[in-house]
Structure 1
Amino acid sequence: MSLSSSVSIKPHQPVWLVTGASSGLGLAVAIEATKTAAVFAIGRDQHGLEVAAKAGCRTVQLDLRASADHISAVLADVIKTVGRVDVLVNAAGYILEGAVEETSEQELEDVFTTNVFAPIRLARAVLPHMRQAGSGVIFNVAGIGGFSGSPNAGAYCSSKAALATLTEALQRETGPLGIRVCLVQLGHFRTSFLKAGHRVHTAHRIADYDPVLEPLRKAFNGLNGQQPGDPVKAARALVDVASWGIDKIPHLLALGPDVPAAELNAHEAKRQAMLAFEDITNSTDLEA
């Protein structure tokens, strides 16, 4: 971990922590937030953090696969430096591509560590300070992939679904304490998400799955660089929503017009599957 110290912080300036700030939405949010806030841009890639630094961010180089104790210590150093945290944006994440059977224990652990455990560890690190202040905002970025389990991306989809469910619980636990937690459901945005480094393939390949997965691999290739969403506009929207005040920030923020349709379609498919066997569903109560 390394922490830069090149940006002064004004007494009443909001303090933001943004993960995934080396690229993509995280970098766009960090840059946008510097217009009104003191931003600590957190990322693993030093080159990306240099972009954030040039935009006026302090930078924290941190591998989110580190232990909970290490992340807590890093955040403690940041909070000691600045005195508080007003907004945490958990935007870091990557996709692991491959069949479930092809996924090794380590690969599964790594994607869940980055996409689920790290956001929760960061939240746990800042929540004591937010509870003491009686205010604070956390944005957890999940996404369209978590609505259903997609072949070729089961580990990723399940990690985003897990983050969404944990976020919903966190909302209900912290809301009465004056803290707002917002689940951001992100659509398809034109970032480096599907490029090498962010799109990781399982090391093991099973040829039997190739007829099933090859069309999806080609679809991923075709979508890369063709996503309809503008990450700068998404960042502006998120930063604008953060300015509304804790009581007005929504619990659920869909970014991208493809998000509502995808979630509704996923729910409708599950509803139809349940109704198809309603006679069995309704046959399991104890007799009166």
Structure 2
Amino acid sequence: MPQLNWLVTGTSYGFGEYFVHSILARGDHVVATAQRAHEHLSHLKDAGAAILDLDVTAPQSELDATVKDALAIYGGIDVLIKNAGYVEAAILEELDDSRLRKVFETNLFGPVNLTRSLLPHFREKPNGVLLFMSSIGAYGGAVGAGAYSATKGALESKCLVDCLREEVSLFGIQCCLVTPGFYRTNIISPQNIKIVPPSISDYAELNKLYQGGVTAMCGNLQGDPRKATDRVVDMVRSEGMASGKPIPARLPLGADAIEIIRDDCLEKMKICDEWETFTSDTNFDAE
């Protein structure tokens, strides 16, 4: 495969940073982005990446201008990884509207707006790959995870990304929803996770429970993020074990993601089987 040009958001830590190293290791070009890039991404610049300031929550006009700058660096972009995001952790009743809207601005609306900025370039080519980073958090409820899971659920459901795929496939543009399981990144480290201060005494024990769980998980998860990002690059480049395979609509990433998503599908099938007779006969009676 020829050399590809990648644009990756949220590269100051976590999967984004690992993606940059995986991409550079294949000899591809990458534009690594983050807020205050020259402050946070100098190590990626030293490794060979181009760096660029990008705030995914910026107005559409600013995103359009930033994408224009990114396109000029290597003469185009072939792959966009929308990775920027964060975990907002809170009991739902304690989560105020402004914080809920803010996490949606970053995790959902930001990726959509950035996609809008790059699509004219992809349509003109015409080709390109759009990768949306989701999470297995979209597949099950957990105390304190409602806001984060909701943002990923909006991507994961057969809705936004699937509709986009139908709309842009005639231009040779491919969309893939990448759904990682639990990986040892620092997205839930104390300096990155956003925990809403408890305010309702009735939830005191639940707050202790989920915050203790977050602390226990941080740094102890078994998933190797570099192996994961290497596999995603394999998928895009159709190399390694992905050789000859088309880019899928969804990529569960990790053994735990495979298990959780499969169990979710089986549970939905079970519900359909159990309630089919009860709910199916609801059409108008034949005249």
- TM-score, normalising length: structure 1: 0.88
Quick one: which amino acid aligns to residue 128 of structure 2? G
- After TM superposition, the structure 1 stretch with the greater mean CA deviation from structure 2, 149-158 or 168-177, is 168-177
Q: Which residue of 1 aligns with 2:173?
A: 179
User: Percent same amino acid at aligned positions?
Assistant: 31
Q: Which residue of 2 aligns with 1:264?
A: 262
CA contact (8 A) 2:198 2:207 kept: no
Post-superposition offset of 1:281: 2.4
Quick one: which amino acid aligns to residue 240 of structure 1? D
Q: Which residue of 1 aligns with 2:22?
A: 32
Q: Which residue of 2 aligns with 1:254?
A: 252
Q: Residues of 1 paired with 2:144 and 2:195: CA distance?
A: 9
Quick one: which amino acid aligns to residue 163 of structure 2? A
SS in 1 for 2:94: coil
Distance 1:141 1:82, change over 3 A: same
Q: Residues of 1 paired with 2:274 and 2:248: CA distance?
A: 34
Matched, 1:127 2:125: no
Q: How do 1:22-61 residues align onto structure 2 when only pairs under 5 Å count?
A: 22-35=12-25, 36-44=27-35, 46=37, 47-61=39-53
Q: Residues of 2 paired with 1:273 and 1:248: CA distance?
A: 32
Q: Which residue of 2 aligns with 1:234?
A: 228
Post-superposition offset of 1:184: 0.3
Q: How do 1:91-240 residues align onto structure 2 when only pairs under 5 Å count?
A: 91-164=83-156, 165-203=159-197, 205-240=199-234
Structure 2: runs of 5 or more not aligned: none
Q: Residues of 2 paired with 1:24 and 1:48: CA distance?
A: 13
CA contact (8 A) 1:103 1:204 kept: no
SS in 1 for 2:93: coil
Q: Which residue of 2 aligns with 1:67?
A: 59
CA contact (8 A) 1:104 1:202 kept: no
Q: Deviations over 1:130-188 (max 9, x none)?
A: 11101111111101101133221101001001122322222222222101111101111
Q: Deviations over 1:42-70 (max 9, x none)?
A: 11254541221121111112222222221
Structure 1: runs of 5 or more not aligned: 1-11
SS in 2 for 1:254: strand
SS in 2 for 1:34: helix
RMSD across aligned positions (CA): 2.2
CA contact (8 A) 2:33 2:52 kept: yes
